[in-house]
Amino acid sequence: MNVLVVGAGEVGFHLAQRLSEENQDVVLIESDPERADFAAQHLDVITVVGNGASLSILEEAGVKGAAMLLAVTSRDEVNLIACLAAKRLGVQSTIARISNPEYYQRGSVLSREQMGIDLMINPERECARETFQLLRSAAATDVAQFADGRVQLLGLQVKPGAPVAGKTLLQLGEELSHRHYVTVAIVRDGVTTIPTGDSMIREGDQLYMLAPTNEVQDIPPMAGHDRFQLRRVMIAGGSTEGEYLAEVLLENGVEVTLLDRDRRRCVQLAESLPKALVLHADATDLELLEMEGVSGVDGYVSATHNDETNLLSSLLAKTAGARKVVSLIHKFEYLRLVPRVGIDASVSPRMATVNAILRYVRRGRVMTVASLAGIDAEAIEFRVDAASRVAGRSLRDLHFPKGSVVGTILRDDEILIPRGDDRIEAGDEVIVFALPDAIAEIEALFE
C-alpha cells in the first residue's frame, strides 16, 4: 500500500517509521529541507520537499497511486487542504490532524464528510483521554482501551511482596480461576516477552494485564498496590491538553485545581471551567504548590508546553507527596527518562496521535492497535468474518506464532478470557498481543 505522510515533525516521522517497519511504501512530504533530509537518512522512505497542500508537490509525491494520505503537520489548515486535494485526486482514505475543535465539532462550516476526510484526530484530546485513564488507575504506568472501552489493558510494576510475585502463570491461573484477566506481556530489564504458562512473575517486573473494564480495579492489589479513588487532581499548566483533561475530570466528579503562569490564560480557563479552581502561578513554585495542598492530591499532572518544566514540576510534586504524578512529554527522547527519575507515568500528545492514526490505518479487519510507551509489544484488535481461515477453529489448532498471545475474544456482549480449547467464530472480535516480529505473521493469519 502506498501511503503519503504530510509533515515530518515528530508525529509524521514516527508514523512514517512505524508504517515503513510494517512494509508499507511511505512517501514523506515536508516543507523544511533539513527535516526532510533527516527523515531520508533515518527512515526507509522517499521524502519530497515542499508544501503538502500544493498540487504539484502532491503529484510529485505520487498522489495518484496512493491509497492513503495522512496529513499531520502542526497546522490545521494545511492538513485540511492536503486532505481535500488528495480526496479530489482519488486517494481512498485521508486522515487529518486537527487541533482546533471548531473544525470538527458541530458548527463547522463543512462537515467531515463534506470535506472528504475520513478521520480527524485531535492530539490534545487524545492526550487528555489517555492521561485521565492513567490517573484513574493509579498504580498503572500504561493504560489502553479496547472494544469501545469494555476491555482495558493495564501496565503496572510488581511490588515487593505482591501476591503474584514468584508464581508462574499456570499457578496463578489455578489460584484465580474465578477472575477474568490475562497476562499479555512482561517487561524485565527492558526486554519485552509475551509470556507462556511457564513464565514466572518476579518482583520489579513490569506486568501488562488485560481485563474487562468493570474488573480492572482488582488488578493493582494483585501486583501489591493499594486500592485507590481519584478525588482531587492538580494540573500544572493551562495548555489545551490541561484544559481538556480538567474538563474530563470535572465531568467525572473529580475536584480540579488548575494553574498557569499567564494571567490572561487563567481568566480564559476560569471562564470555560466554572467548577475548577484556577490559580495564577508557576508550575515550579513549590511554596505555592504546598500551600494549595499538593501533598494531599490523588493526582498531579504537569501539562505545560515545556518538557523540562514538566519534568521538574512533576519531581517537585512527587517529592512533596502527591500520589500519582503524570508528566506531559512532547519529545520522544525524554519518554524513556520518565521511569528513571521517579515520575509515575508520562503521556505524549504526539504518541497519542500516532496511536490513534495507526489504529485507523490498520482498520478493515484490524480495528484497534495500541502502541505502549514502555514496551515493544502491540495490541491489535481483529474482526473475524465468515471467510476467515481462523473462523471455527480452536486456539490450540491455530498455532499462534511465538511472541503473540490472544488477550480476549468478544462475542456479542460477552467477554471471553480464552483458554486453549476455546474456538474463534465468525463475528468475533479478537484482541491479540504481539511482538513486532510476529505482527506480520499474525496479520497473515487473520487475512
Considering beta carbons, is residue 288 or 312 the nearer one to other proteins? 288
Distance CA 164, CA 138 (A): 18
Q: Which of 45, 281, 370, 405 binds other proteins (CB under 8 A)?
A: 281
Residues near other proteins (CB under 8 A), total: 15
Considering beta carbons, is residue 279 or 369 the nearer one to other proteins? 279
Q: Which residues inside 201-260 make contact with other proteins, applying CB under 8 A?
A: 259
Query: What is the closest distance, in whole angstroms, from the C-beta atom of residue 300 to other proteins in the complex?
Result: 17
**Cα torsion for 171, 173, 175, 180, to the nearest 10°?**
160
Taking CB under 8 A as the binding criterion, the range among 21-29, 131-139, 197-205, 264-272 that sits at the site for other proteins is: 264-272
Cα 227 from chain centroid (whole Å): 24
Helix (H) or strand (E) holding 300: strand 299-302
Q: Which of 37, 290, 292, 422 binds other proteins (CB under 8 A)?
A: 292
Distance CA 102, CA 83 (A): 17
Asked whether the beta carbons of 357 and 384 are under 8 A apart, the reply is no
Query: What is the closest distance, in whole angstroms, from the C-beta atom of residue 254 to other proteins in the complex?
Result: 18
Considering beta carbons, is residue 277 or 444 the nearer one to other proteins? 277
Which residues fall within 8 angstroms of residue 354, CB to CB, at 6 or more apart? Answer: 11, 14, 15, 18, 371
Taking CB under 8 A as the binding criterion, the range among 93-101, 209-217, 267-275, 439-447 that sits at the site for other proteins is: 267-275
**DSSP-assigned states of every residue in 174-196:** HHTTTS--EEEEEEETTEEE---
First to last CA, the chain: 15
C-alpha angle 187/189/192, rounded to 5°? 30
Taking CB under 8 A as the binding criterion, the range among 273-281, 342-350, 362-370, 424-432 that sits at the site for other proteins is: 273-281
Query: What is the closest distance, in whole angstroms, from the C-beta atom of residue 271 to other proteins in the complex?
Result: 4
Q: Which of 113, 271, 413, 421 binds other proteins (CB under 8 A)?
A: 271
Taking CB under 8 A as the binding criterion, the range among 280-288, 348-356, 376-384, 429-437 that sits at the site for other proteins is: 280-288
Considering beta carbons, is residue 60 or 292 the nearer one to other proteins? 292
* Total H helices, total E strands in the chain: 17, 22
User: Does 270 sit near other proteins (CB under 8 A)?
Assistant: yes
Taking CB under 8 A as the binding criterion, the range among 11-19, 175-183, 266-274, 385-393 that sits at the site for other proteins is: 266-274
C-alpha angle 232/237/243, rounded to 5°? 70
Asked whether the beta carbons of 87 and 117 are under 8 A apart, the reply is yes
Query: What is the closest distance, in whole angstroms, from the C-beta atom of residue 107 to other proteins in the complex?
Result: 18
Query: What is the closest distance, in whole angstroms, from the C-beta atom of residue 281 to other proteins in the complex?
Result: 5
Distance CA 175, CA 186 (A): 19
**Which residue has cell 467477554?**
415
What is the SS3 assignment for 353?
helix
Query: What is the closest distance, in whole angstroms, from the C-beta atom of residue 250 to other proteins in the complex?
Result: 14
Considering beta carbons, is residue 288 or 398 the nearer one to other proteins? 288
Q: Which of 28, 127, 266, 294 binds other proteins (CB under 8 A)?
A: 266
Distance CA 211, CA 184 (A): 10
Distance CA 8, CA 15 (A): 9
Chain residues that interact with other proteins, rule: CB under 8 A: 259, 263, 266-267, 269-271, 274, 277-281, 288, 292
